[in-house]
Chains A and B, each alone.
Chain A
Amino acid sequence: MRRVYPNKDFCIGCHICELACLTAHSESKDLIIAVREEQASGLRPCKAVYEKGPVCVSLSCRHCENPSCVTACISGALYKDEESGKTKYDESQCVGCWSCLMACPFGAIRRNPSKGKIIKCDLCEGRDKPACVEACPNAALSYEDR
């Protein structure tokens, strides 16, 4: 199964991946509208860039083989999809308890406070290649099967 692998040797900390993620998950698919209007109603990127001195890296859900979030989910909203191998999220089942956010040891789940639901990478369902991988100007994110 293909996942997004980060390379912290070549991440330049530009945060363009976060913007691409935001655009890909927006209604308008327009970066300017996504930032100015859709963020106000809770749209957030699933990617987060972490920095420590000169080193930086962009991380998002690992789609673990044995996800801690699925283990912790009290409503079955998070589940492992047998076919694709992805860790999927059904927003309609979610009650916003934040158990998954706490349980994920990689900190990959965030809150969407205005919706009371979570934000988690879905490997850009419907796209050939995740938006973050496509937008990275320095090939610091790769989409591969290891």
Chain B
Amino acid sequence: MLFKPISQNFNDFVIDRDKERCINCEVCVRQCSYEAHFWDDARQCVNHDNTKCVGCHRCEALCPTGCLTIKKNPADFRDNALWTPTYMKYLYKQGDTGGILLSGMGSPSAKPIYWDNLQLDASQVTNPSIDPLREPMELRTYLGSKPDNVEVEQTPDGPKLKTKIGPQVKLEYPMMFSAMSFGSINFNLHKAMAMAATELGIVYNTGEGGLHPTLYKYGANTIVQVASGRFGVHKDYLNAGAAIEIKVGQGAKPGIGGHLPGEKIDEEVSKTRMVPVGSDAISPAPHHDIYSIEDLLQLIYALKEATEYRVPVSVKIAAVHNAPAIASGIVRAGADIVVIDGFRGGTGAAPTMIRDNVGIPVELALAQVDNRLRDEGIRNWASLVVAGGTRCSADVIKAIALGADAVYIATAALVAVGCTLCGRCYTGKCPWGIATNEARLKKRQNPEIAAKRLTNLVRAWGHEIQEMLGGMGLNSIESLRGNRDKLRGIGLNEVELDILGVKHAGR
């Protein structure tokens, strides 16, 4: 194309406009934040530049006559199993820029998804199913350290619990909204998550961008995160939430820190994060005060002291090779909750190579961490939470069956409010008003509407979980946790089955 470097012409998407139905209303022109649609003055009609299309579907969704279809660019490269178009385009880009490849959202690579290879059991004849519409179905769960045993004493008023139980986070559903920093996404969505979490009786995680002052009132349904950059961390912040989470790693980019480009830092983000407007906010890879497990123990207890032991402290790690050993250390260091974030986890910006090639599937990590903690007899010392690529209620149930106490969802939540996974979050031009702080874009997420959608999402999954539990003859999430026998693998090899602790279907 004229005036464009050669490599920019291998665009992934093309815009298909049905001229019969196009009324030149310019809704697409106004809605496309990548400026792929424009008013063609010379031709007095709406026109478009395919090379700018990122496949976000915003125009298609809002076109009032439905005349737009976003299609994969039908221009084909020669079939090549090794040199796929994806890799080729990476090379064209790097030839142009000389920089590292950046990506938004979780890894799309074609690597094994164990959720899809696990099937659930159902009751037949003996151990009958339970109908969730007729019988009570317990989805509630508590995250926190549980004592080794409990003592009950008889009192004139009846039996009472004598053992003191540590602080817990009460969840009406075994799900929470995962950490997405204020800055990577905007205030409207934080507000929506806070509202939805409160309505549902679950919690959301602030991510490493701090907590906006107007959201303190939702504190009872908030987990405040302390990440390596310590952004937004101060005494009031720590005391504002229902739990504190130390972020040691993130599934999408294990081993490296976080990066919020300066373009996305406006007045409000700057104040909340406690960084200057417009300057990049870089979180270092390690916490510079954590170089050993003892250091982590010190930080955990420092946070507990600061909050007078009122709230549980959670530690989030990425799912890497030694996850079980690391998890064990973390639990022994005093963490009340351990979060394992798999390599499918989302992100606003991560180097593509790291996002796609570092970290292991969370299903395997979860099974192994659960085993390890049980083997060491310390499974009850901390709750286990998984994150990273949970797409549906079936994935949630399978995660619980593999050993999780609860599941963090983030990508699913964003998709529920409109995200189409175009993966351009790092540009700050999210046309759905999610991963952007631009005034004219972020209002596209009306917190009232987003909160409603998030609430709908969790309730819907809740109903499905109840149905599946009932189908298995269980009436409580607690009965499913770690209950590997409810799962069977299909299309998995011996090693995988062994690691997951699951039999093959048919056995």
For B449, the closest partner residue in chain A by CB is: A139
Could you jot down 27 A-B contacts, CB within 8 Å? A9-B443, A10-B446, A12-B31, A12-B433, A12-B440, A12-B444, A13-B440, A14-B30, A15-B26, A19-B25, A19-B27, A19-B64, A20-B64, A31-B64, A32-B23, A32-B65, A35-B24, A36-B23, A53-B439, A54-B439, A54-B440, A54-B443, A55-B439, A135-B64, A138-B444, A139-B446, A139-B449
A114 → chain B, closest Cβ, in Å?
19
Asked if A16 lies at the interface with its beta carbon under 8 angstroms from chain B, I say yes
Asked if A85 lies at the interface with its beta carbon under 8 angstroms from chain B, I say no
Chain A residues whose C-beta falls within 8 Å of the C-beta of B23 in the assembled complex: 31-32, 35-36
Q: Apart from A31-B64, A32-B65, what are 15 other A-B pairs with CB-CB below 8 Å?
A: A10-B446, A12-B31, A12-B443, A15-B27, A31-B23, A35-B23, A35-B24, A35-B25, A53-B439, A54-B438, A54-B440, A137-B62, A138-B446, A139-B448, A140-B446
For B25, the closest partner residue in chain A by CB is: A19
A29 to B444, CA, bound (A): 28
Chain B residues whose C-beta falls within 8 Å of the C-beta of A140 in the assembled complex: 446
A112 → chain B, closest Cβ, in Å?
19
Chain A residues whose C-beta falls within 8 Å of the C-beta of B444 in the assembled complex: 12, 138
Asked if B21 lies at the interface with its beta carbon under 8 angstroms from chain A, I say yes
Which residues on A are within 8 Å of B, measured CB to CB? Answer: 9-16, 19-20, 31-32, 35-36, 53-55, 135, 137-140
A73 → chain B, closest Cβ, in Å?
33
A10 to B192, CA, bound (A): 14
A20 to B23, CA, bound (A): 13
Interface contact B25-A15, CB-CB below 8 Å: yes
A14 to B432, CA, bound (A): 13
* Chain B interfacial residues counted at CB < 8 A: 20
Q: Given A31-B64, A32-B65, A139-B448, A16 and B443 touching (CB < 8 A)?
A: no
B192 → chain A, closest Cβ, in Å?
12
A94 → chain B, closest Cβ, in Å?
29
Task: Give the top 6 A-B pairs by smallest Cβ distance, nearest first.
Answer: A54-B439, A54-B440, A35-B23, A10-B446, A12-B444, A138-B446
A20 to B64, CA, bound (A): 9
Chain B residues whose C-beta falls within 8 Å of the C-beta of A135 in the assembled complex: 64
Interface contact B64-A16, CB-CB below 8 Å: yes
Interface contact B438-A16, CB-CB below 8 Å: no
Q: Given A15-B27, A139-B448, A10 and B64 touching (CB < 8 A)?
A: no
A32 → chain B, closest Cβ, in Å?
6
A70 to B64, CA, bound (A): 35
A68 → chain B, closest Cβ, in Å?
31
B105 → chain A, closest Cβ, in Å?
23
Chain B residues whose C-beta falls within 8 Å of the C-beta of A9 in the assembled complex: 443
Chain B residues whose C-beta falls within 8 Å of the C-beta of A31 in the assembled complex: 23, 64-65
Chain B residues whose C-beta falls within 8 Å of the C-beta of A10 in the assembled complex: 443, 446
A88 → chain B, closest Cβ, in Å?
28
For B23, the closest partner residue in chain A by CB is: A35
Interface contact A16-B27, CB-CB below 8 Å: yes
Interface centre among A16, A135, A139, A140 (most CB of B within 10 A): A16
Chain A residues whose C-beta falls within 8 Å of the C-beta of B30 in the assembled complex: 13-15
Interface residues of B in 203-258 (CB under 8 A from A): none
Interface residues of B in 433-452 (CB under 8 A from A): 433, 438-440, 443-444, 446, 448-449
B287 → chain A, closest Cβ, in Å?
37
A16 to B66, CA, bound (A): 13
A35 to B23, CA, bound (A): 7
Interface centre among A14, A20, A31 (most CB of B within 10 A): A14
B324 → chain A, closest Cβ, in Å?
46
A9 to B440, CA, bound (A): 10
Interface centre among A9, A12, A31, A138 (most CB of B within 10 A): A12
A35 → chain B, closest Cβ, in Å?
4
Interface contact B26-A32, CB-CB below 8 Å: no
For A8, the closest partner residue in chain B by CB is: B443
For B21, the closest partner residue in chain A by CB is: A32
A53 → chain B, closest Cβ, in Å?
8
Interface contact A138-B65, CB-CB below 8 Å: no
Interface contact B64-A138, CB-CB below 8 Å: no
Chain A residues whose C-beta falls within 8 Å of the C-beta of B443 in the assembled complex: 9-12, 54, 138
For A19, the closest partner residue in chain B by CB is: B64
For B446, the closest partner residue in chain A by CB is: A10
Chain B residues whose C-beta falls within 8 Å of the C-beta of A55 in the assembled complex: 439
